[in-house]
Every structure is written in C-alpha cells, then in structure tokens.
Amino acid sequence: MSRAEETNQNRKVKVALVTGAAQGVGLGIAQVLARHGLAVVLADIQSDLANHEADALKAQGHMALGVALDVTSAESWRAAILQSEAAFGPVDALVNNAGISPRGTAETTSEELWETCLGINLKGSWLGIRELLPGFRQRRFGRIVNIGSTRSTRPLRGLFAYGVSKAGMLAMTQQVAVEYVNDGITSNMVAPGWVDTPGERLLQKRHGREDFPAGLKNLITPEDVGEATWYVVGPAADRVNGLVLYLDAGLAVADDAGMIYLPNAQHNRYEQRL
Ligand SMILES: NC(=O)c1ccc[n+]([C@@H]2O[C@H](COP(=O)([O-])OP(=O)(O)OC[C@H]3O[C@@H](n4cnc5c(N)ncnc54)[C@H](O)[C@@H]3O)[C@@H](O)[C@H]2O)c1
C-alpha cells in the first residue's frame, strides 16, 4: 500500500464546499452531505439565499456556512475558501455544481452566451480545483466532484454551449484524476438526468414546456444527486477515481422517448424547443 493510500485510510472528509448550493441540485447535495455529518459550505452568487439555507441547516443541528461566491472569479474563490477555512478548517471536498444551461445551436449561440456558459460551468469549476489543489496535495487528501449531465456524453439539439461545457467538465474530471493519482486526491463526476429544480422550471417555462415536470417518469431528485455525491466523497470511494457516475434512470443510454415520458404525457416526444 502506498503512503498516499495509508494516509487516505486515516482521513475522513470533514468539510465540503458546494457551489451553486443556494437552491436546486446544489442545495440537495449540501443537505445530504450535512446529514452524513460533514460541515458544509453553501457557496453561491445568491449569497442571501445561501445564508438562509445554511441557517436552516444549522437550526437542524448541522454544521453549515453560507458564503458569497462567483465561480468565474479567482479572487472570489480565494475569499470564499478563506471564509470556509476560518469557520471549519481546510476544505476536504469540492463539489462543482454551479451551472447554467442556456439554449442555442452551433449557429444561434452568440460569443457572449458561449463565454458566459463556458465561463461558469467549465472555467468556474477549474478555478475552484486550481485554488484547492495545493492544500489537497499538501495534506495528501482531497475529493473533487464535478456535477456533469447526461449531456456530457449525449448531445441534444439546442444545447450547444451547455453540451460542450459538460463534455469539457468530463475531460477535466479525468485529466485531474490522472494528474493527481499519486497525491491522495480523487476526481469524479456525477452526471444527473432531468432534475426538478427552480432553474429547470424557469428554463422549461421559457422554452415551451410549461407543465414541467409533469409527465416525466424518470425524474431525479436533488437528494438522489446528493447521495451519489456522498458516495464519491465518502470512505467507500477511496479508490474510485476518474469515474462518471450516471444518475439518470437510464436516460444516458435511452434512444426512445418511452424511457422518459409516461404513456399519456402531453409532451411525449424527446425533443427540446429552442
Ligand atoms: N436540473 C437538471 O435537470 C439538471 C440535469 C443535469 C445536470 N444539472 C446540473 O446541476 C447543476 C445545478 O443545476 P440546477 O438545475 O440546480 O440549477 P439552478 O439554476 O436551480 O441552480 C443553480 C445555482 O447556481 C448558482 N450560480 C449560477 N451562477 C453562479 C456563479 N457564477 N457563481 C456561483 N453560483 C452560481 C445559482 O445562483 C443557483 O443557486 C448545474 O451544473 C446543472 O448543469 C441539472
């Protein structure tokens, strides 16, 4: 057994920083990790909401802190990590969840939209990883979890920038896994299918599926994503590295709408309006 592995066995994840944790998937992840006994840092650009949700967790007896974070800014990352360290000590696990999913094809995506989407989803995740890696290497322990999507590997018309960003996150997940394989650090991706979240409801309202999530039979919950994240963060996954854990009730391998919609659902075709 290598020294890193021995060290790993003596270490536990105590502190997790979750980005985009004010609502939706990120909040579900933070709640589940808190229930598993971790101190959780809810980092979000919506800092008031992050603070509010952190207070709710504290009221239930958990260790939680809300911090302001714009993932696209290295300076903001440094400030958020300093705040976490002051409250709970070193961060052991980073969950890169903050993300947006704008609509547009290869032709209709503007440069601005490309930069915003890739900036938050991909560069934002890398900035956090880069900021935490020196500490992870020094302590010979760290867990990185990137929240991808079935769209990391299964393109869908009209999700150009999003699909590219999530495919990029997959490459980054595995690249980091390989680069730090001897440092006691793991890097994995959890790739959910459709999740009912405030962001997704807003998008679907804007893009034509107003009754979302009605009619969907394989809906994933934020708590499901939380439990999958706990698996790759927790002690059972000491040797799990570079994994893409699909959490999608089969969506990633589906080629027919029968996998996705209930027989009588109003929208029974697997397509996305722009
Ligand atoms: N909802 C789904 O169906 C679904 C499916 C697969 C993957 N995902 C992924 O899950 C993640 C969360 O999605 P969601 O549906 O919960 O979205 P959401 O819009 O409900 O929540 C996203 C959160 O990220 C925060 N955020 C946005 N920009 C930020 C920035 N620059 N810095 C810090 N925080 C920022 C928002 O304030 C918000 O709290 C995304 O990465 C998304 O791609 C969602």
One digit per residue, pLDDT tens: the chain, 274 residues? 454 444 544 567 799 999 999 999 999 999 999 999 999 999 999 999 999 999 999 999 999 999 999 999 999 999 999 999 999 999 999 999 999 999 999 999 999 999 999 999 999 999 999 999 999 999 999 999 999 999 999 898 899 999 999 999 999 999 999 999 999 999 999 999 999 999 999 998 888 788 889 888 889 999 999 999 999 999 999 999 999 999 998 887 876 667 777 777 766 555 555 5
Taking alpha carbons only, the member of 148, 227, 136 closest to residue 186 is 136
Which residue's alpha carbon is at the smallest distance from atom 19 of ligand 1?
199
What is the Å distance from ligand 1's center to 21 Cα? 8
Q: Is the dihedral of CA 109, 111, 112, 114 positive or negative?
A: positive
In this predicted structure, what is the pLDDT of residue 251? Answer: 80
Rounded Cα distance between 209 and 154, Å, is 21
Secondary structure (3-state) at 185: strand
Taking alpha carbons only, the member of 75, 116, 86 closest to residue 98 is 116
Q: How many helices (H) and strands (E) does the chain have?
A: 9, 7
- Which position has the token pair 């679907």? 204
In this predicted structure, what is the pLDDT of residue 38? Answer: 98
The dihedrals phi and psi of 189, each to the nearest 5 degrees, come to -120, 135
Secondary structure (3-state) at 184: coil
In this predicted structure, what is the pLDDT of residue 270? Answer: 54
pTM, full prediction = 0.94
Q: What is the dihedral of CA 253, 255, 258, 259, to 10 degrees?
A: 10
The residue extents of the domains of the chain are 3-200+220-250
CATH class of 3-200+220-250: alpha beta
Ligand 1 and 192: CB distance under 6 A: yes
Ligand 1 and 44: CB distance under 6 A: yes
Q: Which atom of ligand 1 is nearest to the CA of 162?
A: 43
Query: Is residue 180 annotated as part of the catalytic site, yes or no?
Result: no
Q: Which atom of ligand 1 is nearest to the CA of 198?
A: 20
What is the Å distance from ligand 1's center to 95 Cα? 12
